[in-house]
Structure 1
Amino acid sequence: MPSKMIVSAASALCLAATLLPAHAQVPTVRIPEAVADWYNAGDKFVQESQKQKVNERKAKNVILFIGDGMGVSTVTAARILEGQMKGKPGEENRLSFETFPNLALSKTYSADQQTSDSAPTMTAMVTGYKAREGQLSVNHTTARGECNADTIARNSVKTILEYAAEAGKATGVVSTARLTHATPAATYSHTSVRDWEADANMPTTSVAGYPCRNAPGAVKDIARQLIEVSPAVRSSLKVAIGGGRTYFLPSVKNGANFFDPEYPTTRGRRADGRDLTQEWVATRGPGAAYAWNKAQFDAINPETTTHLLGLFEPSHVQFEADKAADRAGEPTLTEMTTKALQMLEKERGGYFLHVEGGRIDHAHHNGNAKRALIETVEFSNAIRKAIEMTDPEETLIIVSADHSHTFTIAGYPARGNDILGISKGVPQRDGDGQISDVDSNGLPYTTLGYQNGPGYRAGGRPMLTDAITTQLDFLQEAAIPLGSETHAGEDVAIYAKGPKAHLVRGSMEQNWIFHVMREAFGFN
């Protein structure tokens, strides 16, 4: 039976060097573990697994974290990047949610798409129903472009946020995307077109010829739906933090152009002349607040603020890698999550909170792996903070993605090879230096790439180096030229811990996530 004696990595390498013949070399690739470490780690895993207990309690709180576009390859690459940022090889690292005891695979197809967009996938997770492409929290019988409010109301499917509000729980929505973007909007809005974020985005008449934009009897735009929600949701929605400021601001007010407070040449997008940020404060009572920059956000006192609306960019918030250059400053996803939990944790009846790492998706669409992975690491940081701030006995935390991307990890790179760099394999002889892996034309290639997207090189493959590929703006190579990289259709992972987390298991339809949350809350 293998020894369970723990041997340090340094001692192991020393011992190996002593025992090797004079002509032998120490392996080039760094292996920090001693031989016994692998076996002992497996033993520890089994012992800890046997101690796991099923939590059958009813959940007081549920937090749904969605990494938009966070497929399995993104999780793997971000795990390695975070580990390498800590000075380690990286492969042995774990992101915060990878320690959760329950894991499943989510089938992300929608009612009418093999590879889906964020609208039907998030609708599935928060309502329990598969939906059509581009539609938010309405059933699949809804016609595309349907504008009639009564028809939309009949076809609406209730969200977990709305169930929580009706049960007297507090609710919150946090995103690094626009609050009116598909993933966060699915929690509170019902519409046949996800792009109807402001009234100016809506047509004057519907495809069927009925009055649409701001017409009597027409469905409201998404930003307006956030403000004019049901009485139960209006009371319960304590926190709404993200981007999309101009969708709440008028283009013209009192006969004059109305400009964004941070960008003086950027006008609001609303055609109805309404300032919905002011309406939020006016309709939520004396404890309501609105913040659009970092200083205002930091000044918010969670103990005295009853309802907080935070909108930190005209569109999506800055990528995590670019926040330092933002002129007005804006909070990180971890800071937004912390503030939201500070406000919700004081609610005695419990809460439902949705947090989205929305810009993982956008960086992938840009073919820019470095920004996507930095976003994923920050998403993990926000989850780690939520774990620290909540009681695992009463809070169910679910982490998943709405869909994947055509993001690949390829070649035969050695362990510890820079995940953003050129693929360099294990040398044929110990002691030899690593040599870049090359294609059939003798050109090096990166470990990370995309099946399609803006990284396609029309003039042929370039000569790449680590100095080039690790730059923030580098676009990984793509096989098919597209202006924007697409989603991918494979399953994504679901991670869960807390009450009823054991219901997350095996291969799951994406809409079953709603049913797990509903069961955890005890909503029948």
Structure 2
Amino acid sequence: MKSLLVCLSLSVLCVAPAMAEAPAPLSPELRAALARTPNTKKARNIILFIGDGMGINSVTAGRILAGQTRGVDGASYRLTFEGLPYTGLSKTYSADKFVTDSANGISAITTGVKTINAAIGVDATVRSDDCASSLKGRIPTIAETLKAQGKATGIVTTAGLTDATPAGAYGHVPSRGWRSDAELPAAAKEAGCIDLARQMIEAPKAMRLDVALGGDRARFVTKAQGGKRQDRDLTADWRSLPGAVLVSDKAGLNAVDAKTTKTLLGLFADGDLPSVVDHKDQGPTPTLEEMTRTAISVLSQNKDGFFLLVESASIDKWHHENNAYRALTDVDELDKAVKAALAMTDAADTLIIVTADHSHGLTLNAGSTRNEPILGLARKNGVNEPDRTGQPRLSLSYATGPGARPAGSPPLTEDEALSPDFHQPALTPMSSAQHAGEDVPVYASGPFAHLLTGTVESTFLYEVMRYAASRR
């Protein structure tokens, strides 16, 4: 009787255990995670997306800007590639530096070997600008290896086709600056080295790219044609290939017949492609998504599958200028390309990896409430959150770069900060912002994507791609 009275007087405590046993509803995210099972089938296709310079702060700020641009809450918005089932971190240091450049950054991913900064497709025995050492230290790329096994291969970039990241699919040089014969040192020519543009065009059929879309027309044609080359017109060499197509604008790209095109070269600018902010889907420049769609359409004709490297170079190019608006806009452009690739392929047989070659010194600082523009001043519901001197400050800033403001500069305004041409302030004045050395994110789906979790070396991405493609 006594125990019954105690229970009645403490009814809440007596009932509590029973109430706690009721299962909580599962979120869609948890349901998806619980249903997730590793895919251990052979990868017929591999698509490697590189957000050049896209560190985790670029992903976060890019996500917020993408959401705000669409009129929704940026903080809770989700980029398409953030929804890929497996995520990890990649360590990007090079053979000689804490902080890598794009050359070693991509080379480690495409060859499985870290090299020195500025070198591509060679091992760490190479000496900078030394032709002989690069010939001895040559390492085959994942694109070359898979092409030799029968797959189609391609590259897509908003940079020039001979820039460091796209060159990581086909190039072998001790200096990323060897982009045309006009930029190749005389000693290197005498020692038997050739420039990156020639390496791309003259590669043996068993290793040559089937699709290459980007910029750098000037490095493929002669001075007489308005280019840089001193020897000959390399586009003529390309056009002589069986089933080859050469395009120079969006209209030409849209007109490509994927079923009859065997090899496709697109040169849409003399150098890098302009930011999408500046052409806004108008005029002759295709978007990264449009180039990706065409590349997949052409490469998919191969019965044995394909390998495709897609680079959003503009993230890095504009971070170097401390222009966060254009850099972060291109995070969204990369995401659109990833979304297109997911729609055009089957996750059952296509390994998709989204990562970066290195990070940048962009920081997202405290102060703003979530209703404020990510690119604007730090504000709490419209009221400035100043620095300790009482001056307006920004939500986004850089560690280094040309945005450093001289002492005595006038206070920042919201209109100034929201201008597409604004250069976010930097702590250390530099002519060009420096890369940052923290680990970068990796997002993956498809065959053996489950291996890309935890913290791994950048070279591990090569191992996973090679293993997934060769699995029997």
C-alpha separation in 2, matches of 1:171 and 1:313: 22
Report the alpha carbon displacement of residue 411 of structure 1 after superposing the two structures with TM.
2.2
C-alpha separation in 1, matches of 2:229 and 2:290: 29
Q: 1:220 aligns with which of 188, 194, 197?
A: 194
C-alpha separation in 2, matches of 1:314 and 1:42: 53
Aligned runs of 1:344-493 on 2, under 5 Å?
A: 344-425=299-380, 434-493=382-441
Report the alpha carbon displacement of residue 506 of structure 1 after superposing the two structures with TM.
0.4
C-alpha separation in 1, matches of 2:150 and 2:471: 12
2:134 partner amino acid: I
* Distance of aligned partners of 1:325 and 1:126 in 2 relative to their CA distance in 1, 3 Å threshold: closer
Q: Once the two structures are superposed, what CA deviation does each residue of 1:467-501 show, in whole Å capped at 9, x if it has no partner?
A: 11111100001111111111000010000000100
TM-score (norm 1): 0.84
Aligned runs of 1:122-521 on 2, under 5 Å?
A: 122-148=106-132, 151-205=133-187, 212-213=188-189, 215=190, 217-234=191-208, 237-251=209-223, 258-259=224-225, 267-272=226-231, 274-282=232-240, 284-285=241-242, 287-324=243-280, 329-425=284-380, 434-521=382-469
CA contact (8 A) 1:163 1:523 kept: no
Match of 1:35 in 2: none
Q: Once the two structures are superposed, what CA deviation does each residue of 1:102-127 show, in whole Å capped at 9, x if it has no partner?
A: 01111110110101100011000001
Q: Once the two structures are superposed, what CA deviation does each residue of 1:400-445 show, in whole Å capped at 9, x if it has no partner?
A: 00000010100221113201111113xxxxxxx5411101121111
Query: SS in structure 1 opposite 2:207?
Result: helix
Match of 1:46 in 2: 30
Match of 1:94 in 2: 78
C-alpha separation in 2, matches of 1:153 and 1:465: 54
C-alpha separation in 2, matches of 1:329 and 1:292: 8
Q: Once the two structures are superposed, what CA deviation does each residue of 1:68-98 show, in whole Å capped at 9, x if it has no partner?
A: 0001000001101111111112111111100
Query: SS in structure 1 opposite 2:277?
Result: helix
Query: SS in structure 2 opposite 1:382?
Result: helix
Report the alpha carbon displacement of residue 155 of structure 1 after superposing the two structures with TM.
1.1
CA contact (8 A) 2:104 2:114 kept: yes
Query: SS in structure 2 opposite 1:231?
Result: coil
2:169 partner amino acid: T
Query: SS in structure 1 opposite 2:393?
Result: coil
CA contact (8 A) 1:88 1:416 kept: no
Unmatched runs of 5 consecutive residues or more in structure 2: 1-22
Query: SS in structure 2 opposite 1:467?
Result: helix
* Distance of aligned partners of 1:41 and 1:201 in 2 relative to their CA distance in 1, 3 Å threshold: farther
Report the alpha carbon displacement of residue 324 of structure 1 after superposing the two structures with TM.
4.2
Unmatched runs of 5 consecutive residues or more in structure 1: 1-38, 206-211, 252-257, 260-266, 426-432
C-alpha separation in 2, matches of 1:112 and 1:402: 16
Report the alpha carbon displacement of residue 305 of structure 1 after superposing the two structures with TM.
1.0
**Which stretch of the first structure deviates more once superposed, 156-165 or 410-419?**
410-419
CA contact (8 A) 1:91 1:416 kept: no
* Distance of aligned partners of 1:486 and 1:40 in 2 relative to their CA distance in 1, 3 Å threshold: farther
C-alpha separation in 2, matches of 1:96 and 1:319: 21
TM-score (norm 2): 0.93
Report the alpha carbon displacement of residue 461 of structure 1 after superposing the two structures with TM.
4.5
CA contact (8 A) 2:52 2:315 kept: yes
What RMSD, in angstroms, separates the aligned Cα atoms of the two structures? 1.6
2:234 partner amino acid: L
Q: Once the two structures are superposed, what CA deviation does each residue of 1:108-153 show, in whole Å capped at 9, x if it has no partner?
A: 10110101100011000001111111100100001211123xx533
Match of 1:68 in 2: 52
Query: SS in structure 2 opposite 1:232?
Result: coil
C-alpha separation in 1, matches of 2:80 and 2:385: 32
C-alpha separation in 2, matches of 1:154 and 1:41: 61
Q: Which runs of 4+ in 1 moved over 4 A?
A: 39-42
C-alpha separation in 2, matches of 1:62 and 1:157: 20
